[in-house]
Structures are given as structure tokens and as C-alpha cells.
Structure 1
């Protein structure tokens, strides 16, 4: 019943496109979201990108979206409906949409499809785009290493895919550089958005003595769990994920990783409109303005904030890469030699923890 309602909504959106009264054609842009636009995190930021497209191009574009679309067969039906409804380009904004996106693209060769965080481009009309989240993890890892008093940092992980493993490793390495005694506690929740699971994971970590929590999930539930702990005499710090989550500042949220998709969405829609659009595999980060560190609050010591800002500047100007050797794998075997920088192929297939991490990467 719920899905029938979703499809009905998609249909009603789809039939409103086409020509304006004065006869000029609009470019119809579709977005498929895994969570609600009010999640305060991942989906919220993608929807901010959609709104930026509207602001940039005015009545030259029409945007449509569908939220809360499960990964799998439901996604394929929603994407198909958008294509049937006249969308010229469709952005599918979750890793689990990879197969559905490529399946639908095969049936609609004249529609452009853009898949976020994926790697498959099975057809000429499919492109992929991602952000170098590991750059932001390096910065907050550095802050976390300074801020922990228990030497236990928590990471709420979604799925064991390279993007998430990169983030865990980057955060841990940069925390350990400033605090060699630090331990990373990873909890896999196998969901992108489930406030109850995320809150439970945060509370369990706090019970284990974790006093700094990072997340690779989409809701503000971990922030609320930390806030609750602090109201009961705790000392727990968090970082906003995907969105700023500034409602929880100045503490527990002491900084954030913000995903700014606006530059990419504006660029790609513009290219489609002016005829310069080509298939691509995009992986932008701080230099492109896609990965942004939100306000570092006054709770963080001034010298630590200055160090974090210096790292942001170095990553942005290209003088520092978070995965620069020497780096060993968890079993002690060499991965990167001194001064060697990981290439994109190695990062995109990362399936191991670095030396010093405990536990195993799930299969």
C-alpha cells in the first residue's frame, strides 16, 4: 500500500513537465532518495543540491523527486516511472541503486542516469559520481584523537563497502597520529538510515567508554543519544554527518562533514542543457567544494582547531593526501611505502583495515 502511494506521487509529479505556456521546453531533472528529505543528513543534502539546481536555472528546469525509496526492486520501479514521466536526467543517490539504475538505463537510452557512490557504468547513458569523504574523516579523526579522554573513539558504520572502509581507516590513522593510544570501536548497523539502530549503536558505544562518536549513517539519532548522555553527566562528542547537524552544537556536535552536492548537480544539468554533457566518473572532494568541514566549535581547543584548519587547507591545495605512506595493512604487511600516495584504484577497492585497527571487516 505504501509503495502504491509512492508510485502515485511519482506519476503525479511526472505528468506536470513538458513545455511552459510560452512554448519553451524545460529540462526535467529527477532525484531518487533512500531516506526522507528531512533526515538532517544524507538525503537532506542531496535535496539541497536539487534546490540549488532550481535556483541556478529557474524556469529552464523542472525538478521532481521521490523520497524513502528502498534499495532493490522498488527503486527500479521508481526510476522507470521517472523515465516514463519524461525526465531528461535522473540522479539516483544511494549505493544500493547501482543495479536498478543500470537496468533501467538499458531501456531508456535517451535518458541520462547518474548514480551516486557507485562504480558500474554498463551503458553510455550512465555516469557515476562520488565524494572523497575520507578527506573529511582525516580532519575529524585528527580532532577526535585530541578530544578523547578514554582513548576510545566510536564509528557507526553502515555497510562494509570501500567508501565506508576508507572513512574508518582515514579517521583512525589521523586520530592515532596525535594519540597513539587511541582505539577505534566500529559498530556495523547494515543500514543507511534507521534512527533506532543508530541510537542503539551510539548508546552501546557510550556504555563501552567511547567518548567521541563518528557516524557513516544518515540520521541525527547518534547526536541525540550523545546529548542525552551529556545531560546525565557524560562527556561525549560527536560530528555531524553529511549535513551540518548544527542543532546539536556547540556540544555534543563539535564539527561536521558536509556533503555539498550543489556544484556537481548544477554543473551536470548545465552540461546537459548546453550540449556538452558526456559520460563520466566523478570523484570530487575538498578542492571541488564537495566535502566541507562545518564550524569547529569553541569546545575544541584553539590549537587543535588551527591544526585542523591547516589540514583542510593542505588537502584543498593538493599538498596533502590523507592516504600517504608509510601505511601497513592490519596484518602488518606493507601497503604504501614512505611518501607513496594511494591511487584512486586502490582506494576504490579498499577492503581491509590499516595497522592498529582491531576486529575484522565483515564479508
Structure 2
């Protein structure tokens, strides 16, 4: 074997090893504006997707990216839309692939020079498929504390979309926070089997109110409407809707997608995008999540409860308190 042949084989081996380890990077893109596409299975108004859409629009407004998107994409069409955007030359594609994991990962393998950043329950896939999630269990814990402090019946209702890890961990964190304030608090938990069905979520919330719940955890749209109609309180999730429900929504666990999106854009531009988990960018220390301002409920939450909430918030930010992550399906306690 000649020296030249050995060098060729060595280079090929090193390239393969880098790709398999997830350390291989995509080409840098020096142009002023990066071409970015979003693919969403629900309307962009939906809580979770709205945060991605907001962050990408902010980058667009700054002149960093060109941004196009498709919403209400059926799972059966998701792979086709991904391929269309990749073929059109979009360097970064974002979305949520919880129901189409296998198909989405196949597309990423077919377009190794395109960066994919997807909401996913799975792991990163080398070299170009990164994942993220709304790891907002920390502010969810804080809102649970507030909910228990505001409940007069000690009964909290919780309405979710599907019992997947991304939802379960937030519900459990909320429940743990509530138990810190009231160890005897009771929960009624229900999943509506949809990511966007406000009427169904509203009916589930009505049923909980009829059973005695006076505070509702609004993981889905529709829950706060039920609380408003019945004169009960609600806790928001992912977005802050207090301006729409000033007498109903006490507090919210707010998700800020900007740290995640901005990090991905910077890495693609620098040619440093690899397969990695962007989930930690959603945590409070990165300003990826926070307890939303109490607004109209400022001063209405018992002072002793808020003192405990602020102490917990400070401990979380200082790394002295860790919110437990529990991805199992939460169950009703009554």
C-alpha cells in the first residue's frame, strides 16, 4: 500500500468517525441572511408553536434570516414538506416531529448538509438532526406553588393534550410545587387527545369545576375560557394570556424560545451546527423560561406564599434547587 493510499484511507476513516460521533459540522453560511423554514402541525397561534414562530420572526426583524413557514401540516405530509424546503435550499429547518420521528430522521439523513432542529422526544442524530423541547419545569414548579396558595378548596384541575414526556414533566413539576405549599392538595388530571381542540379542553375543565376544582392548570387552549365563565382561576403554560383573562389567569410558566433559536442560527452561520440536544437552552439560567409577571394579580397572592416562591426562584437560578424531572403519566389523586 502506497503512502498516498494510506493517507486517503486515514482521511476517510476520520471523516466517518466524526460523522458517527455527532461531531461533524455543516458548512458555514457567510451570506447576510440565512434561509430558515418552519414546519408546524398546528396553527402558529397554538401555544407551543407560537413561541418558535415568535423567536424566528424576531430574528427575521433583525435582518438575520429569511423566514418562511407552513402550518397545519398533517403528519402524512410532513416528510414531503421537509423535503421541499431542503430542496429549495433552506439551510435551517425547524418544527416538531413528535408524531413523525422516523420519517423526519430519514429526511435528515438524505440531506446531510441541511441543519434540522426539531421538537422531539428522541435523541440527536448525527450529523445534522438536533432536538429541543420546552424544558420549563422550573417555572411550572413555581406556578404550582402559586396555584396551591390561591386554591380555597385544595382541589386543582389539570387538562393536557397528550400524556407524552414533554407534557408529563411539566404537570409533575407543577404538582410538586403545589404540594410544597399544601401537602394535602388534590388533583384531577385529564388528557383530551389533541394538541388543538379548545372546545374539548373547555368541556374537560367544566367537568373538573363541577367536581370542586377552583384552580385549573391550562396546558391547552380552552381551559382558561372555562375558568373565566365559572368564576374560577387558571394557571397558564408556555405563553402568558393574562391580558385576555385579567381576572382569571393568575400566573404562567413562560417559555422563551429565543435562546434556542439564536444559538442554532449562530452555529449554522459559523459552520458549527452539529447533532445536539438544545433542550437546556429552555431552562431559567439561560433565560429560556421564567415565571411571568403577576400583573393584575400582583398583591393578590398571599404574601407568605410569594415569599416562598421568590426564595425557590432564587435557589433555582443559583443552582441550589433542582426541580425533579418525572416523565411518567400523571394521575388524578381524587
Residues 1:160 and 2:163 aligned together: yes
Deviation, 1:176, is: 1.6
* SS of residue paired to 1:213: strand
Counterparts in 2 of 1:300 and 1:204: CA distance versus 1, 3 Å? same
Q: Which has the higher contact order (CA 8 A, sep 6+)?
A: 2
Counterpart of 2:216 (choices 213, 216, 222) is 213
Larger CA deviation: 257-266 vs 297-306: 297-306
Residues 1:291 and 2:284 aligned together: no
Q: Is the 8 A contact 2:254 2:289 kept in 1?
A: yes
**Structure 1: tracts of 5 or more residues without a match:** 1-22, 231-235, 324-341
- Structure 1 Cα separation of the partners of residues 89 and 233 of structure 2: 46
The aligned counterpart of 2:33 is 26
Count of residues in correspondence between the two structures: 300
Residues 1:245 and 2:233 aligned together: no
The aligned counterpart of 1:195 is 198
Deviation, 1:304, is: 2.0
The root-mean-square deviation of aligned C-alpha atoms, in Å, is 2.1
Counterpart of 2:78 (choices 67, 75, 80) is 75
The aligned counterpart of 1:265 is 261
Deviation, 1:119, is: 1.6
Q: Is the 8 A contact 1:83 1:111 kept in 2?
A: yes
Deviation, 1:260, is: 0.6
Q: Is the 8 A contact 2:156 2:214 kept in 1?
A: yes
Counterpart of 1:44 (choices 50, 57, 60) is 50
* SS of residue paired to 2:286: coil
Q: TM-score normalized by structure 2?
A: 0.83
Counterparts in 2 of 1:223 and 1:353: CA distance versus 1, 3 Å? closer
Deviations 1:268-293 (A, max 9, x none): 11111122222211222111111111
Q: Is the 8 A contact 2:136 2:254 kept in 1?
A: no
The aligned counterpart of 1:358 is 333
**Structure 2: tracts of 5 or more residues without a match:** 1-29
Larger radius of gyration: 2
Q: TM-score normalized by structure 1?
A: 0.77
Larger CA deviation: 147-156 vs 88-97: 88-97
- Structure 1 Cα separation of the partners of residues 31 and 144 of structure 2: 50
1:161-180 superposed matches below 5 A: 161-180=164-183
